[in-house]
Structure 1
Amino acid sequence: MFAVPLTADAELRPLNPWQAEEFLANLDRSRAHIAPWVAPSFVATDLDGARHVLQGYADRWARDDGGIWGIWCGGTLVGGVLLVSLNAARGVCEAGCWLEPAAEGRGLVTRAVTRLIDWVVDERGLHRVEWRTDARNARSIAVARRLGMRRDGVLRELLPGPEGRTDLEVWSVLAPEWRARRTSSAASG
């Protein structure tokens, strides 16, 4: 119910607290792969923690300041996209993602984030979508580029880590740029 197709066998749909067991299984398959790039609080290690993460996003959705959606491939949760933040009054949000290694290379994240940006621009009327990523995360930067985002800048040594502080890159796309890119893609496709 409420699913958006991404490919013939993949779909995007809301990820809710009652799906904590499935979310934890996905995290278990992807933990080592995503841990360097996401907040430690996201990578739950037990069922209560997974439920807490999803409940936090459900609460954000209820407050209209964020949300989370899962990507299911062949009926299995393989990752997802999220609105880390959403400020309707300012017209700004931050999008993010995670994906287990076995699901990479199929364009699932790019398709899912495209649907998310379409929604925040067309339905919510937001003006700016941000993408913030560790400067070492080449896959995340590649997604930002595929989405037509521009690199706004670097927040130097913002993120603490086990190997020292690292830079955070800020990418964004503005609503007029998004609409123009979509129109251009439709005209050429």
Structure 2
Amino acid sequence: MFKTILNSTTYLQLLERKHADELFYLIDGSKESIGKWLSFPTRTEGVEDCTTFIEKSLQRYAKNNGYWAGIWHEGRLVGSIGYLYIDSDAKKTEIGYWLGKEYEGKGLATIAVRAMITNAFRNLHLEKVEINVASQNWKSQRIPKQLGFKEEGVIRNYEYLNGEYLDRVVYGLLRHEWKIREMSSESS
């Protein structure tokens, strides 16, 4: 099982069954903040739901068709990030991510997304990474913008959540755009 060190206090690790309790309590404690933008918190009613989610993620990992990793900071699970799918024909993926409420605004999602982008291009040899963000979730939209993604459009009425339709802003980053950014950051 993989583990990626992000800095001295933060790392990504593939979610395993043993993490189900910790994952549930993190989701349960952040239902209101995460549930504004994503539907899974309202469907997560117990540890069993997290175990099922992790088992499905491990199956997808084994088939090289996406997976979810935990984001750990100072020894605690603080969120999750993953490849929603890996399209080997089109050579692209979509990254999804979320943090527990008390861990937002600390730059943790940004460094986690950066690591997943690097992995997608360097190790998976993909050509494109996408991120879809609720149109009103300004905090989360800052992440792809900061990392050089281009806004590609808006999917209207993408999801019905909390009694209203939410639009999604689609961001994309191509391999050659990432390479240019990597080269310029290495020379600075």
TM-score (norm 1): 0.92
Could you say which residue in structure 1 is the equivalent of 2:103?
Answer: 103
Q: Distance in 1 between matches of 2:162 and 2:39?
A: 14
Is structure 2 residue 66 aligned with structure 1 residue 66? yes
Q: Does structure 2 retain, via aligned residues, the 8 Å contact 1:156–1:168?
A: yes
Gapped runs of 5+ residues in structure 1? none
- Residue 18 (structure 1) shift: 2.5
Identical columns (%)? 28
Q: Does structure 2 retain, via aligned residues, the 8 Å contact 1:20–1:54?
A: yes
Q: Distance in 2 between matches of 1:163 and 1:63?
A: 36
Could you say which residue in structure 2 is the equivalent of 1:123?
Answer: 123
- Residue 111 (structure 1) shift: 0.7
Is structure 2 residue 146 aligned with structure 1 residue 146? yes
Could you say which residue in structure 1 is the equivalent of 2:94?
Answer: 94
After TM superposition, the structure 1 = structure 2 runs for residues 11-90 of structure 1, keeping only pairs within 5 Å, are: 11-40=11-40, 44-90=44-90
Gapped runs of 5+ residues in structure 2? none
Partner secondary structure for residue 125 of structure 2: coil
Q: How many residues align structurally? A: 188
AA aligned opposite 1:63:
K
- Structure 1 residues 120-129 or 35-44, which shifts more? 35-44
Partner secondary structure for residue 64 of structure 1: coil
Could you say which residue in structure 1 is the equivalent of 2:8?
Answer: 8
- Residue 8 (structure 1) shift: 2.4
Could you say which residue in structure 1 is the equivalent of 2:134?
Answer: 134
Partner secondary structure for residue 124 of structure 1: coil
- Residue 74 (structure 1) shift: 1.4
Q: Deviation per CA, 1:100-155: give whole Å up to 9, x if none.
A: 12212221111111111111101111001000111111111111111110100011
Q: Distance in 2 between matches of 1:181 and 1:48?
A: 42
TM superposition outliers: structure 1 runs of 4+ over 4 Å: none
The CA RMSD measured in Å over matched residues stands at: 1.7
